[in-house]
Each structure stands twice: as C-alpha cells, then as structure tokens.
Structure 1
Amino acid sequence: MPATSTPSAKRIAAASTKAAKADRNQLTPKDWIRAATELLIHRSIDAVRVDVLAKILEVTRGSFYWHFADRDDLLKQVLLDWQEQQTEQIIARYRKQGVQSAELIKELVALPFHGRAAMKGASVELAIRAWARRDEMARRVVDAVDAKRLAYLEECFSNLGFVLPDAKARAFLLYCYMQSESLFRNQGSTDEKTQRREFVARTLLD
C-alpha cells in the first residue's frame, strides 16, 4: 500500500524544513569558509569535511548544501578567499594609497612583523602550501598567487629604475625573505629582527 501522510509526519517534515531554513539564514558561505580555514590550519586538509564543519558550526549537514555544491566546491572557495584577501586586496590597497615604490618596499619588508594579523596570515599560508604539495587544485592557485605577487614586486623595483633582470631578481629575493620571516618567526630577538629587516631593505634598494 502507498504510504499516507499522517499529521505527525507532516509536523516532522515541517519542522525539518524550518530548521533547514534557519540554518541557511543564520550562516553565510563566509562562515563555512572561515571554519574550514581554521580546520585547515589547526589540523589538515583531510579534516575539512562537511560533517565535521556542521558539528563545529552546530547546524545540520543539509544547511551546507544551501551554499556549496559539494566539498570540492567549498575547498575551491577556501583557496579563492585566501587569494582574494592575501593578494588581490593587498595589492589593490597599495595601488590606491599611491605609496612611492621605495617606501612601499620598506613596508613590504616589514609586513611579516605586523602583529597578530601577520601571524594568522602566515599560518594560513603555510597550511595552504602544505595542502598544495599534494593537491593539483591547490597548487594551481598557489602558483597563480606567487606569480601575481612577484609581478607586483617586479613592477615596484622597475619603477625605481632597475632594469628588468635586476627588478626580477630583487623581487624574488624580497619575496623569499618575506616567506622566510614567516617560517622562522621565532629566530632572533626583537632588535635582531629589526636589524635584519633594515639590512634587507637597504640591500634591495641599493
């Protein structure tokens, strides 16, 4: 016999629909991306799963699918969010400010030391680069980010009058230095870090 819809079944269905709508309305894609990024930092890419995120966010698994097609869609959005925040927005902000290239180089040399924001950015970056060593999608985004950042640094050095080969070499040295300070953040006292930073700036601008 075909199943009939009882009042009790209707109430359960209505409650489920209401709960799903509440989950959808309370959370945004950004909330899921932020939670996924935190899991990536503190555990690994393997830990970034829909069921784990739903438990952390205290919502149903079904609410996830209001915002993302599947887990791969979420992971792609995590990468694009990192690319936008840590590359596109930063470059756009510097362009808008119109800072002179020499001062900009000095500011970029100091960027790894910008307190908690720098530490958080470095943690995200390290986690994504670890992910990129084993995943093609992540590797493509990391390669694109590196290329965009290097091109911008080359532009800064070119604006200072360095010929293209020298601009490229100095851009690469600056980028490697910035990445290294993030990796070795506990090496040296505050004074030593300041001296190191000033030495790098002088060397690059000489």
Structure 2
Amino acid sequence: MRKPRPGPLTPGDWARAALAAIARGGIAAVAVESIAADLGATKGSFYWHFKNRDALIQAALDLWEQSRTESVIEDLEHEPDPAERLRKLLEAAFDRSPADRAEVALLANPEHPAAIAAVRRVADRRIGYIAQQLEKLGWEQGEALDRSVVLYYIYAGYLQMAHVAPDVTGDDARRRHVRLILATLVAGSSQR
C-alpha cells in the first residue's frame, strides 16, 4: 500500500531516498519502483524529475559528496587552527562514519561508473584537504600527501572493521585510536 504524500516531491526527495537505498543495499538497491513506493509516489513522478535511473544515482552521489565531504570541509574552515581541524575531522569521521551505511557501501564497492567516479573525487578531495592541513602544520608537500593517503587508508579500513568487527572499534578504542593517529601521523616531527 502506497503512503500518502503531504506535497509534491522534489528531486532532493528522490536523491535522499536513493541514498537511503544505497545505504541499505548498495547501488543495486536503487530501483525506481521500490523508491517510488517508499516515497508514496508513482514512477511518473520519478520521470518528471529524472531522465533515467542513472540520473537518480548521480543525484544521490552528488548529495553524498556535498553532505559528507564539501559541507564537512566548509564547517571545518571555521576553525582557525589546522591541528584542531584535523582532530575534529578525525573524531567526527571515526564517530559518525560507521553508522553511515551509504559511506560504507560506496567506499567498499561502488559498483557503477558514476559511483566509482564520485568515490574517486571524494577520496581526492578528502586526501587533498588533509594534506593541506598537514602542510600548514609544517610538513613538506610530499610528506604531507603521503601522510594524508595513509590517514585515508586507515579511515577506509576502520569503516570496514567497524562494520564486520564492531567490538574492536568501540567508543573507548575509537578515542584511543584517534589519539594514536593524531600523535603518529599528524603531530610527529616535520623536521628530519
């Protein structure tokens, strides 16, 4: 039975529903009919806003990229201290991301050309931003980039571990791990 809708749907409503579907089952879960049913809409409503399923997937990926990367970076830029930016970034990423099933699904298995491209853009943006902060802390450009890539490897591995072995990544362990990462890869000596 279809749920009644309080008003007309927007492309954003469809994109959020598609992102929720990705969180439940990856890109393969983005099916127009089931999302329409979730939204209490018809396929006609979908075609009013989108040319095809690929356009809906792209809208969901754009939403993921904006909300999980660009808006996070915008918020961090209010903090003047690059070390504090990195601390806040790591704490937020390690606290929030395991519950973000879309993040887990997309980083683990993008499955679609548009998703692969979005994951690459997001990784490049995140790694570049972290490297910029490390350079501001005095790390040489190449060293900052290497450390940033390693931080991103750790983050991606942490997401997988939080998914398959949550007992290893509990609250206390997560706080200890973030402190260790900061001490090892961020605050270490930039002078050789």
TM-score category, normalised to shorter length: 0.7 to 0.9
Q: Please report how far the alpha carbon of residue 129 of structure 1 lies from its aligned counterpart in structure 2 after TM superposition.
A: 2.8
Partners of 1:147 and 1:32 in 2: CA distance: 27
Q: Does 1:72 align with 2:54?
A: yes
SS in 2 for 1:184: helix
1:125 pairs with 2:103: yes
Question: Which residue in the other structure is 1:107 paired with?
Answer: 88
The equivalences for 1:1-206 within 5 A come to 25-95=7-77, 97-114=78-95, 117-121=96-100, 123-132=101-110, 134-185=111-162, 186=166, 187-204=168-185, 205-206=187-188
* Paired residues of 1:109 and 1:174 also in contact (CA < 8 A): no
- Contact 2:16 2:63 survives alignment (8 Å): no
Partner of 1:3: none
Identity of paired residues, percent?
28
- Output the CA distance in 2 between the equivalents of 1:140 and 1:36: 17
8 Å Cα contact 2:19-2:60 kept in structure 1: yes
Distance 1:24 1:76, change over 3 A: farther
Unaligned runs of 5+ in 2: none
Deviations 1:141-191 (A, max 9, x none): 111111111111110000011111211111112222222222222114433
Structure of higher RCO (CA pairs closer than 8 Å, 6+ residues apart)? 2
Structure 1 residue runs of 5 or longer lacking an equivalent are 1-21
| Cα distance between partner residues in 1 of 2:29 and 2:84 | 41
Aligned-CA RMSD value:
2.1
**How many Å separate the matches in 2 of 1:190 and 1:81?**
28
For 1:53 and 1:74, how far apart are their aligned partners in 2? 11
Matched residues, number: 180
